[in-house]
Amino acid sequence: MMNASTYVARKPGPDGTIHYTEEENAVWHTLIARQLGCVQHRACNEYLTGLERLTLPRHRIPQLEEINQVLVPATGWRVARVPALISFDRFFALLADRQFPVATFIRRREDLDYLQEPDIFHELFGHCAMLTHPAFARFTHTYGRLGLEASPKVRGFLARLYWFTVEFGLLNTHEGRRIYGGGILSSPGETQYAFASSEPEFRPFNMLDVLRTPYRIDIMQPIYYVLDSLNDLFAIADMDIMAEVRKAQALGLFAPTFPPKQTAV
C-alpha cells in the first residue's frame, strides 16, 4: 500500500513455522515491553481485555496461527500473511473476507520509534486485540466490503474513515479519554502525545467531518476524533456510508491543519 519498502516479509519454513532470528525476537521483546507500560491507563478496557485474550509472548514473535486460535472463535476473523506491501485491492479483499493482513517482518533497531509501513508488531499489538471485540470486527468487515467495490477517488475518502478510527481512534469512558486505534497503541510517542501534549485537537466523531479531514502519515496527529462508546461502531457500520462519502465529495476537504510535507530536492 506504499510505493517502496526496504523490508521483506518472512516466509514459513518446510515445517510451516517462521523462524525469526535472535535479533528479531529481541526487537519484539523491546517493543512489547516498552509499549505495555505505555498503554496502561491509556488504552480502552476493550483493548486490554483483548490483549489479555491474545496472551502475546514477550520474548519471541508469535506465529500467526497462535493469533488465529483466539480470533476465529471470538469474532470469526483471522490474520493473513502478506508481503511488506500489498495493493489496495488486496487489502480491501482481505478485510471483506474477515482476514486482517499482517506483513511478517519486524522493524530494525534504527526504526524502533517510527516506521511508515506497518510491521508485525504494529499489526498484532496494535490491531488484533481490538479484533476480538464484535463492534470493531463488524466495522472493519463493513469497511473492507465498501472499499472493495469503491473507485480510487472514493477510496481516498474511505481512507480517512479508517485513519481516524482503526488507526487513530479515541474513546470517551468513565475513566476519561482512552485509545482504541492501533496507530496510537503501537507507538510510544503517539501514545504519550495523545495524552500529555496540549497541541492536538479532540473532536467528537462526526462521519462527514471525518471524511473531509486531511491527514499525514509521518507526523503526530493534530486532530483526533473521539467516540462515546465502542459500540458506536455498530451504528457506523449500519450507516449509509457511501451517501456520506458523496456529501463529502460535494463539500470538499477541510483545509489542512498541518504544513505540507517537504520533498527532497
- Model pLDDT, residue 263: 46
Answer whether 147's CB lies under 8 Å from 86's CB.
Answer: no
For residue 127, say whether it is annotated as part of any ligand binding site: yes
- Model pLDDT, residue 214: 97
- The sign of the CA dihedral 19, 20, 21, 25 is negative
For residue 41, say whether it is annotated as part of any ligand binding site: no
Q: What is the pTM of this model?
A: 0.94
Answer whether 220's CB lies under 8 Å from 170's CB.
Answer: no
User: Please, which pLDDT band fits residue 114 given cuts at 50, 70 and 90?
Assistant: confident
Q: Between 2.40.420.20, 1.10.1030.10, 1.10.800.10, 2.60.120.260, what CATH number should domain 22-251 receive?
A: 1.10.800.10
**CA angle (34, 38, 261) in 5-degree steps:** 90
57-96 tens-digit pLDDT:
999 999 999 999 999 999 999 999 999 889 999 999 999 9
For residue 23, say whether it is annotated as part of any ligand binding site: no
